[in-house]
Amino acid sequence: MVAMSIPASTPPRCTVVLAVKSLSDAKSRLTPLPEDADRPALVSAMLVDTLDAVATVGADAVVVSPDPDVHRLVADRGARPVDEPEPTAGLSPLNAALVHGAAPVGRTAYLQADLPALRPDSLAAALDDAARALTGAPAAFVADRSGNGTVLLVATSGFTPRFGIDSARRHRDAGAVELDPERRRWADLRTDIDTPDDLTVAVGLGLGPRTQAALARHTADADRFGRTPRRGCGTMNR
């Protein structure tokens, strides 16, 4: 990915928090894949493409994970690795991890870690819209492609993330403002990867270079998911 500065109009820089399982356990629903496919490598590649987009908009990244391999990987990308916390009463492991990585004061953006088609301009625009929404609400969020999940939540300190099943409704019920509720913008930001169909959609949008390379290592993967390069990757990547 060619880094290109995207000036955001949301000073100061927010902290972007991502949570990642152990690579050996991640993306169990991403099946079927060829027997020789390296699932941990694919998960790592999607994470790196996501982090590169975060870095390009000038935001600080914190990655919460129990996996030392993830820690090393994200530190090499300029993100701050944080160990997964002990179980927290009333919170799922995912939300406990996100809360653990949140900034102590100010604004925190909680972002899915599997956005291989993410373009920095989409992320910057969503963060800007969220900053404006936060003048009258405790949080703002972007729903996933289905409209049921959440790919990005930007919140003031004290707002608890509610990622998981039906998280869009739960964030909305908690007072968060939904950004672009008609889902006309930011298709790349909305495409997190849980199934092979999700990955096919991401290919159509244009994969980041690390994810594209991870798929291309396996002929069967490349034949199934295509070899479409990310659009505009010579100048600005999502």
| pLDDT reported for residue 195 | 86
| pLDDT reported for residue 232 | 33
CATH code where residue 24 lies: 3.90.550.10
For residue 6, being part of any structural domain is answered with no
For residue 151, being part of any structural domain is answered with yes
Which is nearest to 165 in space by CA: 191, 144, 196, 142?
A: 144
| pLDDT reported for residue 237 | 28
| pLDDT reported for residue 36 | 56
For residue 232, being part of any structural domain is answered with no
For residue 76, being part of any structural domain is answered with yes
d(CA 47, CA 210): 9
For residue 234, being part of any structural domain is answered with no
Question: Residue 156 pairs with which residues in a beta bridge?
Answer: 107
Tally of structural domains, the chain: 1
Which two three-digit tokens encode residue 154?
């930007």
Sign of CA dihedral 232, 20, 77, 109: positive
156 marked as part of a ligand binding site? no
44 marked as part of a ligand binding site? no
For residue 5, being part of any structural domain is answered with no
175 marked as part of a ligand binding site? no
For residue 9, being part of any structural domain is answered with no
| pLDDT reported for residue 34 | 55
- 206: domain range? 15-225
Per-residue pLDDT of the chain (238 residues), as tens digits, is 334 444 444 444 689 999 999 998 876 667 666 555 688 899 999 999 999 999 999 999 999 999 999 999 999 999 999 999 999 999 999 999 999 999 888 899 999 999 999 999 999 999 999 999 999 999 999 999 999 999 999 999 999 999 999 999 999 999 999 999 999 999 999 999 988 899 999 999 999 999 999 988 754 444 555 544 443 322 222 2
Q: How far apart are the first and last CA of the chain?
A: 9
Question: Residue 48 pairs with which residues in a beta bridge?
Answer: none
For residue 51, being part of any structural domain is answered with yes
Task: List C-alpha distances in Å: 164 to 61, 92, 171, 191.
Answer: 21, 8, 10, 16
